[in-house]
Amino acid sequence: MKKFFLTLALAAVATSAFAQIDGLSVSAGYQSYTLHQDYSTTFPIVGTVTLKSDNAFGGFYAGVNYSLLTFGPGISVTPGLYFSTASYKNADNADVQAKQSYIGVPVNFSYFIDLVPGTLALEPYAGPIFSYGLSYKGTGNNWTDTTNYYTEDYDYGRFNVALGAGLALNIAEMIRVNIGYNYYLLNLYTGDGDGNVNRNGVLNFGVSYVF
């Protein structure tokens, strides 16, 4: 009988040490990334020329997560739905600007580590992110005229896939502060020529409230 109660006690301690925060959470934060564009164009006299640009975007995101599945102590799968918006302004000419907005669906696998039970915990996470572009517009004269890059004239794809990873700090099982990095995999250029367009290295900082 003593062994039975000892086993129950050890199981309870082990479970509490890795008890993840279940349920719904809402999040908001800041993100920054570089939009890399690389095209090869052929001119009559000089031949093929590669044109490159790297534009730094910054903006905000907001969304929801829900801890859906649990695999053993401390391991969970958490899908989410996010709206993101970011903008770019040319450092040499403030009239040259661009704006992007897209939705993202992350599916994170996380491991919950209780540092101070019920008070402080770490949660490393990683998983794929599926995103779909809602809007991508630019201007050369401070939005007097607007270019829509999602029209057929510019051959920009909307769908992308990223691999994401990060670390969250859970406070009092109610507040979660996180830092993450997403690496996008697909070329968004859909034209016939040689070209590459992608969001490179999205760095994000956020805060969540857990219900």
The residue to which tokens 């009239």 are assigned: 95
What's the pLDDT score for residue 70? 78
Over range 86-97, report the average pLDDT. Answer: 88
**pLDDT value for 169:** 96
**Residue 140: what pLDDT?**
86
Could you report the per-residue pLDDT of 172-184, keeping only the tens digit for each?
989 999 999 999 9
By the 10 Å C-beta count (0-12 exposed, 13-18 middle, 19+ buried), 100 is classed as buried
Split at pLDDT 50, 70, 90, the class of 209 is very high
| Residue 3 reports pLDDT greater than 70 | no
Give the 3-state DSSP-derived string for 54-101, with helices as H, strands as E and coil as C.
Answer: EEEEEEEEEEEEEECEECCCCEEEEEEEEEEEEEEECCCCCCCEEEEE
The stretch 119-123 carries a mean pLDDT of 94
Rounded Cα–Cα distance for residues 156 and 140 (Å): 19
Cα distance between residue 35 and residue 37, in whole Å: 7
Checking if the pLDDT of 125 tops 60, the result is yes
Question: Which of 55-59, 60-64, 138-142 bottoms out in mean pLDDT, i.e. has the lowest?
Answer: 138-142
The rounded mean pLDDT for the chain is 84
Q: pLDDT-derived band of residue 22, with 50, 70 and 90 as boundaries? A: low
Percent of the chain with pLDDT over 90: 51
Answer with the residue of higher pLDDT: 52 or 17: 52
- Give the per-residue pLDDT at 144: 84
Q: How does pLDDT run across 148-163, given as a tens digit for each residue?
A: 989 878 888 899 999 9
The continuous run of DSSP H or E covering 2 comes out as helix 2-17
pLDDT band at 16 (very low <50, low <70, confident <90, very high): very low
